């Protein structure tokens, strides 16, 4: 059996969105499903890292194309450049120093979205409809047509974001009469950085109705997202499937972690932006330090990533400069090494009840305590609730209490390592791709996907772990 996987994000793109499609392409052949990938050329990657290779996928099975600039993107780029010029240029933080801070909390480390006024964001949401990467459509469509003439495929898989992957798959599945699996890594409606009018929301809703009606299966990566989408669009109920993201089981480091690190270290890895805020954590950290009278020299907090949102502002406001450092991103392999130096890994998943950040699975894989700033009634909490070493917190008071407990464990000499063995095996991409292979088999045999394996959907959700 042969499938065509359409994904904008793919290695050497180091964006977290590249992990899932890469694992699909790597592991599907173990189930007798040869996979060809249609993606973008490396220079169009969101976060290029040439150290990420695809050696375990045949080179002739990966087709890469350009992304054409659109008039809309040129307009936005020109406006952004003009704005930067008027402000006297952009700051460069490659040395890892904390960016300058404005009175409203914005900083040079803030995401571009965070610094754009609401009215401009609203305007941009219209400019970017239906997808800000629509310039990939034409070159990708031409390449896909060539691939489909040369190879007899049995099904198409497309994964978003960006949505343009589904636009391609929709047209190709109609033209070539091929089963199509539509994979949603994020909610289709109301992206975290988008400000919509009701009219635009309705347009996105109608767009999803159109495309999902053609899809043979609609895959979501959390059960909460599946339930939400089915409630919003009841017509997909019989073909909506949950296949969560997964963890790549990694060999342990050659150098074993110290039972008690020299410092009580907390690490956050990834971007901080929009509602994904470190404010509650930093306020809780200040509260805990003031109550416990701990020597600040024994505590270290590291934020590592390409953007920090309002974090620098809160660090300065709370007088945490001697404890908190902001560091530029490093390679994915190096990140894993750094995570192993920490006693606690901080997850920021505020206002994301339907999603589980891919970073959470990476945290589980390095087997450290996880302090999750997220809703108690949300997808991330579903995954780690009741697990050893995991705390689900929402307020500064919650943070202070969790840090008190972790400090007691640290002082008692408890190992930095937490055994997530059973959960990791259940969450492994080997298990996830086994599920996907069943969906592919189902759609190619024209069977109802929701009935695969006798309750297949529920068997692989976070609620069942």
| pLDDT by position in tens, the chain (length 465) | 999 999 999 999 988 899 999 999 999 999 999 999 999 999 999 989 898 999 999 999 999 999 998 766 666 666 555 545 544 443 333 333 333 333 333 333 444 444 555 666 667 677 778 888 999 999 999 999 999 999 999 999 999 999 999 999 999 999 999 999 999 998 887 554 455 577 888 888 999 999 999 999 999 999 999 999 999 999 999 999 999 999 886 655 554 545 567 789 999 999 998 778 999 999 999 999 999 988 999 999 999 998 999 999 999 999 999 999 999 988 878 899 999 999 999 999 988 899 999 899 999 999 999 999 999 999 999 999 999 999 999 999 999 999 999 999 999 999 999 999 889 989 999 999 999 999 999 999 988 776 543 333 333 333 333
* CB count in 10 Å sphere of residue 401: 16
**pTM for this model (two decimals):** 0.83
User: What is the CATH topology of the domain spanning 264-424?
Assistant: Rossmann fold (3.40.50)
- The arrangement of secondary structure in 2-67+133-246+428-464, i.e. its CATH architecture, is 3-Layer(aba) Sandwich (3.40)
Instruction: Give Cβ neighbours of residue 46 (< 8 Å, ≥ 6 apart).
Output: 9, 13, 15, 17
Instruction: Give Cβ neighbours of residue 258 (< 8 Å, ≥ 6 apart).
Output: 416
H or E element that contains 181: strand 180-184
Tell me, yes or no, if the two domains 2-67+133-246+428-464 and 264-424 fold the same way. yes
* CB count in 10 Å sphere of residue 451: 12
pLDDT of residue 80: 57
- Beta strands across the sheet bearing 155-160: 62-65, 34-40, 2-6, 155-160, 180-184, 217-220, 240-242
pLDDT of residue 341: 93
* CB count in 10 Å sphere of residue 461: 21
Alpha-carbon Rg for the chain in angstroms: 23
Residue 136: closest CA among 307, 221, 10, 270? 10
pLDDT of residue 188: 86
Each domain of the chain, given as residue ranges in start order, spans 2-67+133-246+428-464, 264-424
């Amino acid at each position: 059996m042969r499938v065509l996987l359409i994904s904008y994000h793919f290695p050497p793109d180091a964006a977290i969105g590249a992990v899932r499609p890469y694992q699909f392409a790597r592991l599907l052949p173990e189930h007798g499903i040869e996979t060809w990938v249609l993606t973008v050329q490396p220079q169009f990657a969101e976060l290029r890292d040439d150290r990420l290779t695809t050696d375990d996928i045949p080179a002739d099975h990966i087709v890469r194309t350009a992304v054409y600039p659109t008039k809309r993107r040129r307009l936005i780029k020109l406006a952004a450049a003009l704005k930067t010029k008027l402000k006297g240029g952009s700051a460069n933080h490659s040395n890892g120093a904390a960016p300058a801070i404005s009175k409203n909390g914005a900083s040079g480390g803030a995401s571009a979205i965070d610094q754009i006024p609401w009215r401009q964001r609203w305007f941009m949401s219209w400019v970017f409809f239906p997808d800000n990467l629509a310039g990939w459509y034409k070159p990708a469509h031409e390449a896909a047509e060539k691939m489909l003439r040369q190879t007899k495929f049995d099904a198409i898989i497309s994964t978003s974001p960006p949505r343009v992957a589904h636009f391609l798959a929709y047209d190709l599945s109609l033209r070539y009469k091929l089963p199509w699996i539509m994979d949603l890594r994020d909610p289709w409606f109301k992206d975290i950085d988008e400000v919509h009018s009701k009219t635009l929301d309705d347009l996105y809703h109608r767009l999803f109705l159109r495309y999902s009606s053609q899809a043979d299966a609609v895959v979501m990566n959390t059960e909460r997202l599946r339930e939400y989408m089915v409630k919003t669009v009841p017509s997909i109920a019989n073909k909506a499937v949950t296949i969560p993201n997964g963890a790549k089981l990694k060999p342990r480091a050659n150098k074993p972690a110290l039972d008690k690190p020299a410092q009580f270290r907390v690490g956050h890895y990834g971007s901080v932006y929009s509602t994904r805020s470190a404010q509650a954590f930093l306020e809780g950290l200040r509260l805990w330090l003031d109550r416990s009278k701990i020597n600040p020299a024994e505590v270290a907090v590291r934020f590592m990533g390409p953007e920090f949102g309002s974090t620098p502002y809160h660090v300065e406001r709370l007088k945490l400069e001697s404890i908190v450092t902001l560091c530029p991103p490093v390679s994915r392999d190096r990140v894993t090494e750094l995570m192993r130096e920490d006693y606690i890994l901080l997850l920021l998943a505020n206002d994301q009840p339907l999603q589980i950040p891919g970073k959470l699975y990476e945290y589980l894989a390095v087997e450290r305590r996880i302090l999750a700033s997220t809703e108690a009634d949300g997808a991330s909490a579903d995954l780690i609730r009741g697990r050893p070493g995991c705390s689900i917190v929402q307020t500064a008071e919650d943070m202070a209490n969790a840090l008190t407990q972790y400090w007691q464990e640290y002082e008692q000499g408890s190992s930095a390592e937490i055994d997530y063995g059973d959960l990791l095996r259940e969450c492994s991409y080997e298990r996830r791709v086994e599920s996907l292979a069943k969906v592919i088999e189902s759609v190619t045999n024209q069977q109802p996907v929701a009935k695969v394996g006798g309750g297949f959907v529920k068997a692989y959700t976070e609620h069942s772990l």
